[in-house]
Structure 1
């Protein structure tokens, strides 16, 4: 089982590499594309009331636009980074997110410089990888780095940074320290400056992948906890309870679960739900409200076509009115 999972991960990384190279050339803009025909990992949708448009981004660094969630136009190039920065000339771009904060639009994404090595673990070379924040006055960009400062330590392989404003009014980044470097992926938090231009202090551990009762793998005939942490995204329920959706693997199946903060604060302690919240083969989710106010979850699914591996965005209905997030049926716009 574990060998199958490594195969899926390897294929995904190759797909990301292809996306990274393809983003540097202008691709034809397509119009009226159904959501189910778009190939995209880690889809994140911003519902912008100012323009009455939905903006979707994800792995690859491109953007799609829609007025109704049914038909989309894209992909559009919306980011502008300095090739002389730590990211390099052609960084791989993973899990981009869009957040509206204090009148500006922020683009959180994971950048990997394939030409810079930071570590070697069990003969595996660890590349320079970290989340960075870009900003724009408009939802469709162009997005430029808020600053060139490192938000996270350069010697750590980190990814999937997301944004959260705490009850104290302070902004934070929640991110993963990658399992391929530390052996047991972690979920961590770090405070950001008021203008999101830098991080403040050190990262703090929230939980480890092995804390999850539902994510697991098989090694030498033994079932043990998985060690992958992916895709954190935070929310509050109707009762004010703080929760976090995140993704790992159940053997060789990408699956999403949820944890809740016992204290209601980012620091936790975080308690994992016993079972996943999505069907198998769906993960890396985020939550958004439609322009009409309906809560939805955006996730991606995996599909193998003629021996090639693809990911597609999907939508699920969600109910946040109670004490827990409840995932409903697939949503068809």
Structure 2
């Protein structure tokens, strides 16, 4: 009886913990949400904002002030390479040709594809799910694999280039190549799969602002490429924000394409564009037309390392992206 009683208490505890994790919260301020890699879709049709990020959940808001969630919106195939319980990172939402698309990084921790310099490389790749509605559910499409099985990729984002073709832009993980890459691959017209092979746009070592120390204490380039997002200024200049590190500080920079296409060459600004400790940004226009940047910051609370979303005002009216002050809805 004692064992049954203990087992009952354990099951109740597990149930309560699960319920807490799945509980939908109302009227939550943005700075009270714990979320990495926040991405916000301002949806004209529903007049709502939808925020995704790492974790496979979604938050909704009519005004950016108070949010409701988190809702589970990603549905994956347990028989696919992702396995039954994939980790989901850096989810992004795009409205394209009357459908909604969910670009995200999925990791199957049960599958190891390589070991590089003592680091075990898990099966990880950028992938796309689709839905007819902005709040999902988002489900797999035709192709089960978009990117090579033997290379870890992450942080896929979306862009239609000057040739009218859709592309996924993504990172080749530094843990495998020791010099992170930014790459592109062409997508099918309905985004249901990829075409051909990926092409490198630039490498982490091309950045003039990211830094780390080598084993002798000398400054070298930081190996990480993270969180790409494409945009155009009002003058038509093509830019990309992306994130790396300056020593131990998460930092965001920008590069501009000299040709005006994804093929570049990409010219990097000398200095970061956001204050220290802000990164993995994206740009969106509010339903009223104000350009904003969504990013996250890092902090330690009661010994727990957390990330919190923030919004910055941005100006795209000139030839460059200019980041302004913190935006408080």
Q: Is TM (by shorter chain) over 0.5?
A: yes
Query: Residue 184 of structure 2: SS of its match in structure 1?
Result: strand
In 2, Cα distance between the equivalents of 1:131 and 1:208? 18
Shift of 1:149: 2.6
Task: Tell me, yes or no, if the aligned pair for 2:245 and 2:251 is still in contact at 8 Å.
Answer: yes
Could you list the runs of 5+ residues in structure 2 that have no partner in the other structure?
1-16
Query: Residue 36 of structure 1: SS of its match in structure 2?
Result: helix
CA RMSD of aligned residues (A): 1.3
TM (norm. structure 2) is 0.93
In 2, Cα distance between the equivalents of 1:93 and 1:25? 20
Task: Tell me, yes or no, if the aligned pair for 1:289 and 1:296 is still in contact at 8 Å.
Answer: yes
Partner of 1:214 in structure 2?
209
1:58-114, Cα deviation, whole Å (9 max, x unpaired): 000000000000000000011111111100011110000000000000000000000
Query: Residue 210 of structure 1: SS of its match in structure 2?
Result: helix
Partner of 1:40 in structure 2?
35
Could you list the runs of 5+ residues in structure 1 that have no partner in the other structure?
1-21
In structure 2, relative to structure 1, the CA distance for the partners of 1:126 and 1:25 (3 Å cut) is: farther
Query: Which of these residues, 134, 141, 149, is aligned with residue 139 of structure 1?
Result: 134
1:16-48, Cα deviation, whole Å (9 max, x unpaired): xxxxxx999961000000000000000000000
Does residue 176 of structure 2 align to residue 188 of structure 1? no
Shift of 1:204: 0.5
In 2, Cα distance between the equivalents of 1:190 and 1:248? 22
User: Structure 1 segments of 4 or more deviating over 2 A?
Assistant: 22-26
Shift of 1:198: 1.2
Does residue 246 of structure 2 align to residue 271 of structure 1? no
Bigger Rg over Cα: 2
TM (norm. structure 1) is 0.92
1:103-149, Cα deviation, whole Å (9 max, x unpaired): 00000000000000111101211000001100000000010012243
Partner of 1:16 in structure 2?
none
Does residue 207 of structure 2 align to residue 177 of structure 1? no
The count of aligned residue pairs is 312
